[in-house]
C-alpha cells in the first residue's frame, strides 16, 4: 500500500521536472532564434558545437556557367568574390588531370596556359578565403565545343631567339580579316613582357595585321616575349583562332642611322656614340627620297633592281645591287652604288634610295640588323605611313589611336616591374 502511494508522488516529481526542462529548452530556443552576435553571426550557430560557422568570403563563377556546352576552347574562368584575401583556381579535365593557368592581375579572371581540348569536359573550382581563414568554394562543370571547321591562322614575322634592332615592331598577322567588334577581345589575349619593363601598345594597321611598339625605342640588349592566346577564340562570322602563338626575341645594340639631305651625310650612332659618318646620295628631284623614320625590313647581300614593269621600257632599268637594305614597300633601300661614288656627299642622283659606296655599304650591311631605325630629313617628299614599318613615323599620341583597347598609362612604380606590359 505504501509502495502504491509512493508511486504517484514520484511520478508527479518527474512530471514537474520534465515540464521545467521543456520550458527551459523552449526559452533557450526562443533566445537562440531571436538573438545574434554583434558581428551578424547567428547565436544559434555560435552556440552549437556541431555546426561549423559560415565563411566570411563568398565566390561565384560567372563563366562558364555550370553545365554549359559548346564552350569556346579559348575560354577562361570569370568569377566574382567578396571579402576574399586569397583566391585559388583549379581546373581539371574529365580524367582528373589538372590544367595549368594564370590568375590575372585583376583577381577576377583566370586563363589556361594552352587552348582547351575540343569536346572535353572540365570542372572548375574557385576557392576564396577571408580573414577568418574559412574557405568558400564554387564549382562549374562545362563542355568544350567540337572542333570548328573555320579556323584563322595566326603568324609572326619574327622567330624565337632572333636578335633585332631597337626600332623593331612586333608584327602579328591573321589569315583572315578580324572584324572590329572582335579586335578588343583578341587584343586582351595579346601580351608583351620585356626585361627591363618598357611601356608600349598594340596598333592595328589593317584588319589582318597588328603591330606593337614601345613608347620609345627598345632598350638595347633587352629581352622581349610576346604571346597571342587566340586558339579557339571566336573571331566573327563563325571563325575561330587556329592556334596560340608565343615568340621570344632579343634586342641588339642601339644602332641608329640619321641622314640629313642638307649635308648629304649619314651619321651612325651605336649605344649613344657616333661610330661613323658616311657620304650619301639621295633621290634626285624627280624621284626624291622620303623624309621620315623607317626601319630596316629586309637585307639582301646581292639582288637585282628591275623596274621595267613598273616604269616601262623608256624609264625602266635593270641593275645588279650589292648590300641592299629595304626601308619601304615602295622600293627605297640603303645600298652600295659604285656608279655614284663621285656624287655621294654632294649631289642627289638616285631614284629615291640612299646610295653609299661599296666600302660603306659593306660596313653597314655587317653592322645592321632587321629593325634598326633610320631617319631621313630635308627631302622634297614626306614618308607615307604604311609604306613600310612606319610605326616610328607616328607620334605616340597617334599610335595609341590604333589600339582596340583604351590606353592606360602605367602607374609610377610600374617601371621597376619587369612584368607584363601595362597595356595589352
The least confident of 130-139, 273-282, 298-307 is 298-307
- From 33, 203, 351, 353, the catalytic residue: 353
Those residues whose C-beta lies under 8 Å from the C-beta of residue 129, and which sit 6 or more positions away, are: 55, 57, 84, 85, 86, 87, 135, 136
Q: Which of 44-48, 106-110, 255-259, 269-273 has the lowest mean pLDDT?
A: 44-48
- Which three-class secondary structure state does DSSP give residue 247? strand
CATH of the domain at 69: 2.60.40.3780
In a domain, 389, yes or no: no
- Residue 299 maps to which CATH number? 2.40.440.10
Same domain as 138, residue 66: yes
Domain identity same for 375 and 275: yes
Is residue 337 domain-resident? yes
Task: Rank 3-17, 43-57, 215-229, 297-311 by mean pLDDT and report only the highest.
Answer: 215-229
Which set of grid coordinates corresponds to residue 235?
573571331
Q: How many of the other CB atoms lie within 10 Å of CB of 219?
A: 17
Domain of 103, in residue numbers: 58-143
Which pLDDT does position 416 carry in this prediction?
A: 43
Q: What are phi and psi of 85, to 5 degrees?
A: -95, -25
Tell me how far CA of residue 155 lies from CA of 151, 228, 230, in angstroms.
13, 10, 11
Q: Is the pLDDT of residue 206 over 70?
A: yes
3-state helix, strand, coil in the chain (%, to 5): 20, 35, 45
Separation of alpha carbons 372 and 217, rounded Å: 10
Domain boundary (143, 164, 186) is at 143
203 is catalytic: no
Give the span between the Cα atoms of 160 and 209, in whole angstroms: 19
pLDDT of residue 305: 86
Contacts 24+ apart (CB under 8 A), 335-342: 335/361, 336/360, 336/361, 336/362, 337/281, 337/361, 340/281
d(CA 59, CA 76): 16
For residues 388 and 375, give the distance between their C-alpha atoms in angstroms, rounded to a whole number.
Answer: 13
Same domain for 162 and 211, yes or no, is: yes
195 has which bridge partners?
223
Same domain? 230 vs 329: no
Q: Is residue 366 part of a domain?
A: yes
For 39, 171, 181, 267, 350, the CA distances from 375, given in Å and listed in that order, are 68, 21, 36, 10, 17
d(CA 344, CA 185) in angstroms, rounded, equals: 51
- Domain match, 377 and 259 both: yes
Q: Are 196 and 419 in contact (CB under 8 A)?
A: no
Query: Of 11, 15, 335, 351, which one is the catalytic site residue?
Result: 335
Q: Is the pLDDT of residue 8 over 70?
A: no
Q: Clarify whether residues 352 and 259 are in a common domain.
A: yes
How many domains does one find in the chain? 3
pTM of the model: 0.81
Residues 378 and 268 occupy one common structural domain: yes
Known active-site residue 11: no
Q: Over 90: is that where the pLDDT of 104 sits?
A: no
Q: Which residues contact 370 (CB under 8 A, 6 or more apart)?
A: 162, 164, 165, 168, 295, 296, 297, 298, 299
Q: Where do the H-state alpha helices sit in 218-329?
A: 308-315
Residue 309 confidence class, pLDDT cut points 50, 70, 90:
low
CA distances from 228 to 160, 247, 287, 386, 423 (A): 14, 9, 41, 23, 14
Amino acid at each position: 500500500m505504501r509502495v502504491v502511494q509512493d508511486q504517484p508522488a514520484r511520478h508527479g516529481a518527474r512530471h514537474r521536472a520534465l515540464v521545467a526542462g521543456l520550458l527551459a529548452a523552449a526559452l533557450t530556443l526562443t533566445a537562440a532564434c531571436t538573438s545574434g552576435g554583434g558581428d551578424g553571426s547567428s547565436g544559434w550557430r555560435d552556440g552549437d558545437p556541431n555546426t561549423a560557422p559560415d565563411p566570411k568570403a563568398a565566390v561565384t563563377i560567372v563563366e562558364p556557367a555550370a553545365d554549359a556546352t559548346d564552350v569556346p576552347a579559348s575560354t577562361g574562368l570569370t568569377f566574382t568574390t567578396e571579402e576574399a584575401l586569397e583566391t585559388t583556381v583549379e581546373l581539371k579535365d574529365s580524367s582528373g588531370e589538372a590544367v595549368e593557368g594564370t590568375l590575372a592581375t585583376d583577381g577576377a579572371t583566370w586563363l589556361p596556359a594552352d587552348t582547351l581540348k575540343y569536346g572535353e569536359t572540365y570542372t572548375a573550382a574557385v576557392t576564396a578565403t577571408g580573414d577568418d581563414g574559412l574557405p568558400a568554394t564554387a564549382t562549374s562543370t562545362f563542355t568544350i565545343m567540337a572542333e570548328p571547321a573555320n579556323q584563322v591562322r595566326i603568324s609572326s614575322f619574327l622567330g624565337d631567339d632572333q636578335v633585332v634592332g631597337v626600332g623593331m615592331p612586333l608584327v602579328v598577322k591573321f589569315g583572315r580579316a578580324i572584324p572590329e567588334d572582335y579586335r578588343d577581345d583578341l587584343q586582351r589575349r595579346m601580351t608583351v613582357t620585356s626585361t627591363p619593363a618598357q611601356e608600349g601598345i598594340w596598333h592595328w594597321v589593317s584588319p589582318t595585321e597588328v603591330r606593337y611598339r614601345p613608347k620609345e625605342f627598345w632598350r638595347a640588349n633587352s629581352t622581349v616575349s610576346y604571346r597571342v592566346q587566340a586558339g579557339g577564340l571566336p573571331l566573327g562570322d563563325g571563325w575561330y583562332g587556329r592556334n596560340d602563338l608565343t615568340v621570344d626575341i632579343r634586342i641588339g645594340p642601339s644602332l641608329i642611322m640619321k641622314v640629313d639631305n642638307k649635308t648629304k651625310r649619314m651619321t651612325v650612332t651605336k649605344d649613344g656614340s657616333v661610330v661613323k659618318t658616311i657620304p650619301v646620295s639621295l633621290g634626285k628631284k624627280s624621284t626624291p627620297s622620303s623624309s621620315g623614320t623607317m626601319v630596316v625590313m629586309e637585307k639582301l647581300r646581292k639582288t637585282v633592281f628591275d623596274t621595267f614593269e613598273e616604269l616601262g621600257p623608256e624609264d625602266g632599268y635593270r641593275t645588279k645591287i650589292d648590300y641592299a637594305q629595304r626601308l619601304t614597300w615602295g622600293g627605297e633601300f640603303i645600298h652600295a652604288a659604285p656608279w655614284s661614288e663621285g656624287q655621294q656627299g654632294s649631289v642627289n642622283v638616285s631614284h629615291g634610295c640612299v646610295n653609299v659606296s661599296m666600302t660603306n655599304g659593306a660596313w653597314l650591311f655587317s653592322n645592321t640588323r632587321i629593325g634598326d631605325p633610320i631617319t631621313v630629313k630635308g627631302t622634297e617628299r614626306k614618308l607615307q605611313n604604311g609604306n613600310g614599318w612606319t610605326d616610328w613615323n607616328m607620334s605616340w599620341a597617334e599610335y595609341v589611336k590604333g589600339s582596340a583597347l583604351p590606353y592606360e598609362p602605367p602607374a609610377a612604380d610600374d617601371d621597376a616591374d619587369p612584368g607584363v606590359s601595362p597595356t595589352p
